[in-house]
Amino acid sequence: MKLSDNKATLSFSNGKAAVELPVYEGTMGPDVIDIRKLYGQTGMFTYDPGFLSTASCQSAITYIDGDKGELLYRGYPIEQLATNCDYLETCYLLLYGELPNATQKAEFDERVTRHTMVNEQMQFFLRGFRRDAHPMAILTGLVGGLSAFYHDSTDINNPEHREIAAIRLIAKMPTLVAMAYKYGIGAPYMYPQNNLSYAGNFLRMMFGNPCEEYKVNPVLERAMDRIFILHADHEQNASTSTVRLCGSSGTNPFAAIAAGVACLWGPAHGGANEACLNMLEDIQRNGGVAKVGEFMEKVKDKSSGVKLMGFGHRVYKNYDPRAKLMQETCNEVLAELGLEKDPLFALAKQLEKIALEDDYFVQRKLYPNVDFYSGIVQRAIGIPVNLFTGIFALARTVGWIAQLNEMISDPEYKIGRPRQLFTGHAPRQVQPIGQR
């Protein structure tokens, strides 16, 4: 972070002395006004619910230009990564800052592959859940539970512990997600198979069974891998900020990532893919493409509480570049499976077309986000709707852990502790119960 020649001056209309605030420049994106000393200098806090104008940290991992619709991991455009690299190369990049060479890639792949099994005892822990539990409820528990099984990598201040916890989390998430799925349908768990790719192994753990050989379909394997790449990180979103805040207390990495999983579950965040598919199915049941106009009227009527799920973003005020890549994958997967005429895909395209031409969406700069098409791809692959957010959590784990490790290594890091504007009662006296 570079100190700028520019400075900000904050003046007050009540005669209080103005204060000068330093400004810092990043490599790209808006500069920041440093308000860390503001309270000491003025006795005042800033007020910014939802962090609309607040940078909570400095980070060198992911950059989004919301107006241009640009997403870079460590400087590389998402389009190039999604086309030229696989998910584990992307993980390496996010964790260590550079793309691996061939030797580094082979070593990293081998390390992750050798950590994919989970402690055998975890299946008994899993059995404590109801069979119909939501997979995100199970995952929140299982990921937090990892800290009980891998106690030798729970010291967040020890770089070796952080490194091994990162590998363990990336390696074990697909196993846990697949176990949660198999448990829900009463099927036997599949152990990981080390000669398969990360995505191929996941597909086998999900859809294979111990009685026969499972052949990985390369188109679906590539699609799964792309879903993972597109969800791998997204700078300081709600779940990542949750992981940072949780980790800032010094808690262990598994507990901090479990907090991220819990935050991701919400429909405004990672739960949007599930909500989006439910929405499409709902419109389809009620008349499909013919009813799109009616549905859009409801979306625009604020009193209806209906939103076009998979649309809009806090940062993107242009097309989410991940949505474009996901639409491409959607075409490939549906063609491979002979589902080109999938009515939900047709419906999604129609909704998108109408929305992009409608004043309501144009004025608010609402475009499709990654979740608009990811549900259709996942459904075609055979992933049940209630597991979509679990897949997102699996993929985002690397982003969470990279951001957590970056925070811990940052000399400026402190425990996160926001302030508040108090609007409750001034001090008052407790009255005896008979007089209240």
Which residues, in sequence order, are CB contacts of 347 under 8 Å at separation 6+? 280, 283, 284, 288, 289, 292
One of 269, 291, 317, 349 touching ligand CMC (CB under 6 A) = 269
One of 295, 371, 387, 403 touching ligand CMC (CB under 6 A) = 371
For 63, how many CA atoms within 13 A lie in the half-sphere containing its CB?
A: 13
Active-site annotation holder among 86, 225, 233, 371: 371
Scan residues 30-49 and list those touching ligand CMC (CB under 6 A): none
Strands 76-77 and 70-73: antiparallel
Q: How far apart are alpha carbons 99 and 21 in whole angstroms?
A: 38
One of 81, 156, 167, 272 touching ligand CMC (CB under 6 A) = 272
The residue count for binding ligand CMC (CB under 6 A) is 20
One of 369, 374, 378, 386 touching ligand CMC (CB under 6 A) = 369
**Nearer of residues 183 and 372 to ligand CMC, judged by Cβ:** 372
Least gap, CB of 346 to ligand CMC (angstroms): 20
**Nearer of residues 48 and 152 to ligand CMC, judged by Cβ:** 48
Q: How far apart are alpha carbons 47 and 54 in whole angstroms?
A: 10
Name which of 387, 385, 381 is nearest 333 in CA terms: 381
Q: How far apart are alpha carbons 146 and 190 in whole angstroms?
A: 19
Which two structure tokens, joined as six digits, stand for 246? 């949780």
Give the three-class secondary structure for 422: coil
**Nearer of residues 161 and 314 to ligand CMC, judged by Cβ:** 314
Active-site annotation holder among 134, 231, 234, 313: 313
Question: Can 371 be counted among the known catalytic residues?
Answer: yes
One of 95, 308, 380, 401 touching ligand CMC (CB under 6 A) = 308
Q: Which residue is nearest to ligand CMC (CB)?
A: 312
**Nearer of residues 352 and 371 to ligand CMC, judged by Cβ:** 371
**Nearer of residues 207 and 316 to ligand CMC, judged by Cβ:** 316
Q: What is the DSSP letter of 56?
A: -
Site pattern 310..329 for ligand CMC (x: CB under 6 A): xxxxx---------------
Helices (H), 310-423: 321-336, 343-357, 359-363, 371-381, 388-409
User: What phi and psi, each to the nearest 5 degrees, are found at residue 161?
Assistant: -65, -40
Least gap, CB of 61 to ligand CMC (angstroms): 15
One of 146, 309, 377, 380 touching ligand CMC (CB under 6 A) = 309
Q: Categorise residue 200: left if φ over 0, alpha if ψ from -120 to 50, beta otherwise.
A: alpha
| Contacting range for ligand CMC; rule: CB under 6 A; set: 63-71, 268-276, 373-381, 398-406 | 268-276
**Nearer of residues 32 and 299 to ligand CMC, judged by Cβ:** 299
Task: Please give the C-alpha separations between residue 141 and each of 54, 69, 227, 260, 289, in angstroms, as whole numbers.
Answer: 31, 35, 24, 12, 40
Name which of 432, 402, 434 is nearest 60 in CA terms: 402
Residue 307 as a binder of ligand CMC (CB under 6 A): the answer is: yes
Q: By CB under 6 A, name the binding residues for ligand CMC.
A: 234, 237, 268-270, 272, 299, 307-314, 364, 366, 369-371
The residues carrying an active-site annotation are: 313, 371
